[in-house]
């Protein structure tokens, strides 16, 4: 990782209350290099630059960190290249994480990174959360379910809801919300959950806008 991108990562995540130790920085450096290498063969991300990955994948993923209070087990739906689950695991080693994605090659990459970084208490599952064989073993198992730009809220919440414990948290990481999503939030009739918080932020050292929504399962 180039020096300026290392500095971007270290200074950027300070905004979320994270002080990266050298071991974590080295893990992100290795993650970055492996992502770039694998991305030459399979489409893990459209972002090809070091700076872009640091900002739009690593720092963006870690913007959820302040909202993990009380969460010890986390399901990351549609995790793609491992985001946000693997970055969150790197900075909070005690967090139990399950990644799930429908694309086998992306899951293969996630498992490679888990092995390469020597991460414990994290697994990657291939499949669709809609499938009964996938959903049933996960039902009611997690303190939190998270997704980063997985789908529209109307699709994400009903899929996330079954895997969360009662009183647990569903975290939706989004860009700008659509008018349709805002109308949906005013109703929330499809699933018994309550919008607890909506956080608007800009990624550090950029003008990129993000929205984080936190729902409580009733």
Starting from the edge strand earliest in sequence, which strands make up the sheet with 164-174, in order? 122-126, 96-101, 73-77, 142-148, 164-174, 209-217, 193-202
pLDDT at residue 174 greater than cutoff 70? yes
Q: Can you tell me the mean pLDDT for 1-19? A: 96
Question: pLDDT (tens digit, 9 = 90+) per residue, 125-171?
Answer: 999 998 988 989 999 999 999 999 787 898 899 999 999 999 999 99
DSSP H stretches of helix in the chain: 3-14, 22-39, 50-53, 60-62, 85-91, 104-117, 132-138, 153-160, 179-185
Question: pLDDT (tens digit, 9 = 90+) per residue, 15-67?
Answer: 999 999 999 999 999 999 999 999 999 989 999 999 999 999 999 999 999 99
Instruction: Specify the DSSP class assigned to residue 162.
Output: G
The answer to whether 148 and 75 are in contact (CB under 8 A) is: no
Q: Which domains does the chain have, with CATH numbers?
A: 63-217 (3.40.50.150)
Residue 215 is inside which H or E element, if any? strand 209-217
The answer to whether 214 and 196 are in contact (CB under 8 A) is: yes
Q: What percent of the chain has pLDDT over 90?
A: 83
Tell me which residue of 175, 155, 167 sits closest to 194, measured CA to CA: 167
Question: Across-strand partners of 122?
Answer: 97
pLDDT at residue 191 greater than cutoff 80? no
pLDDT greater at residue 208 or residue 218:
208
In whole numbers, what is the pLDDT of the chain averaged over residues? 94
């Amino acid at each position: 990782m180039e020096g300026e991108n290392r500095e971007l990562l270290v200074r950027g995540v300070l905004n979320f209350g994270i002080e990266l130790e050298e071991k974590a920085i080295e893990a992100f450096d290795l993650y970055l290099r492996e992502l770039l290498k694998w991305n030459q063969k399979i489409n893990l991300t459209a972002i090809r630059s070091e700076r872009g990955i640091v900002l739009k994948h690593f720092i963006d993923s870690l913007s959820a960190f302040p909202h993990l209070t009380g969460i010890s087990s986390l399901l990351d739906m549609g995790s793609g290249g491992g985001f946000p689950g693997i970055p969150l695991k790197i900075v909070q080693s005690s967090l139990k994480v399950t990644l799930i994605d429908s694309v086998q090659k992306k899951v293969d990459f996630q498992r490679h990174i888990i092995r390469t970084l020597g991460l414990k208490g994290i697994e990657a599952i291939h499949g669709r959360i809609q499938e009964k064989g996938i959903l049933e073993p996960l039902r009611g198992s997690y303190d939190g379910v998270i997704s980063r730009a997985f789908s529209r809220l109307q699709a994400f919440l009903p899929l996330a809801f079954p895997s969360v414990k009662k009183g647990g948290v569903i975290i939706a990481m989004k860009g700008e919300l659509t008018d349709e999503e805002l109308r949906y939030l005013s109703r929330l009739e499809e699933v018994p959950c309550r919008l607890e918080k909506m956080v608007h932020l800009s990624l550090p050292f950029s003008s990129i806008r993000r929205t984080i929504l936190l729902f409580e399962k009733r």
